[in-house]
Amino acid sequence: MAEAGLHNVVLQGKNRPGSDDTDGDDFMVAKKSMAFHPNPWEDPAAALASSRHEFGEHGGVNMSIEASATFTVMEPETMRRMFAGELGPDRDFFIYSRHFNPTVLNLSRQMAALEGTEAAYCTSSGMSAISSVLLQLCSSGGHVVASRWLYGGTHALLTHFLPRACNITTTIAHDKGVKVVVDNTFAPMVLSPARLGADVVVHSISKYISGGADVIAGAVCGPASLVNSMMDLHQGALMLLGPTMNAKVAFELSERLPHLGLRMKEHCHRALVYATRMKNWA
Ligand SMILES: Cc1ncc(COP(=O)(O)O)c(C=O)c1O
């Protein structure tokens, strides 16, 4: 994984078929890409609009869906370097889609741009994003300090599941000097917790980001070091617990993100109308 972060990684030459040449950039000419370096302080809409755009395999304006579970590796030495972490998705080397998948990675880059984080990775649900982050940040005997105002599933995870399964306990209180994880499910683009100092942002994409009440999905947005550690082949919570997003779902969602800003404006407008009516009736 490039240290520059997932959302401004430039993918280079393709490693198939017939050769695992890691230096060439002459293969897959149709796979155009543009690299941008969004300022994490710009507003979410601008950051999203300027995030890297992936074109389709045949030059299509939309990216192709990489529906493969597993990927070809032509040279044994390349396999060794991939497992040693020397070659990775930043150079277009993929092993297996529970680890990294190009289509899911594309959506993840969009999520990182949206939240102003160095990196992100999308998961099969909001709960899997939340539980994986907590399991990656805490060890057995660890302690979580949480707000009282939590989504019910997260509350149950903290008060019942994690204490029983992992000896991780929770205090519903406020403290300092700890990693701050914020669930931004209900305020994407309206509020940017990472731009305001949070360490990690989690999402249930199943709500406003999806917008159609037809998909269950989630995301973890945070420093590249955290996302990389979650994808580690030996210690990564996402890699080893396997809450993997399907590439077809990732493609579907990445087509919806460009109009999230317009939808959020309308949601805010409707919420204001509703609140005003409630106030007038009171
Ligand atoms: C604020 C919030 N966070 C997390 C979740 C869990 O997300 P999912 O249902 O995608 O697992 C929900 C689901 O309702 C939610 O409302």
pLDDT at 173: 53
pLDDT at 20: 53
pLDDT at 175: 54
The residue contributing the CA closest to ligand 1 atom 13 is: 204
Cα(17) to centroid of ligand 1, in Å? 41
Please list the residues that pair with 119 across neighbouring strands.
Answer: 222
183 C-beta closer than 6 A to ligand 1: yes
Q: Are 236 and 133 in contact (CB under 8 A)?
A: no
Cα(174) to centroid of ligand 1, in Å? 22
Please write the tens of the pLDDT for every residue from 229-252: 999 999 999 999 999 999 999 999
Please write the tens of the pLDDT for every residue from 131-173: 999 999 999 999 999 988 899 999 999 999 999 999 998 876 5
Q: Which atom in ligand 1 lies closest to the alpha carbon of residue 218?
A: 10
pLDDT at 91: 93
Cα(252) to centroid of ligand 1, in Å? 19
123 C-beta closer than 6 A to ligand 1: no
Cα(127) to centroid of ligand 1, in Å? 6
106 C-beta closer than 6 A to ligand 1: no
124 C-beta closer than 6 A to ligand 1: no
**Residues 196, 217, 174, CA angle at the centre, nearest 5°?**
35
153 C-beta closer than 6 A to ligand 1: yes
Domains of the chain: residue spans and CATH: 6-281 (3.40.640.10)
Residues of the chain with pLDDT under 50: 1-19, 21-36, 38, 40, 174
Cα(156) to centroid of ligand 1, in Å? 12
216 C-beta closer than 6 A to ligand 1: yes
Nearest Cα neighbor of 227 from 116, 143, 117, 102 is 117
Helix axes 247-256, 102-115, angle to 10 degrees: 40
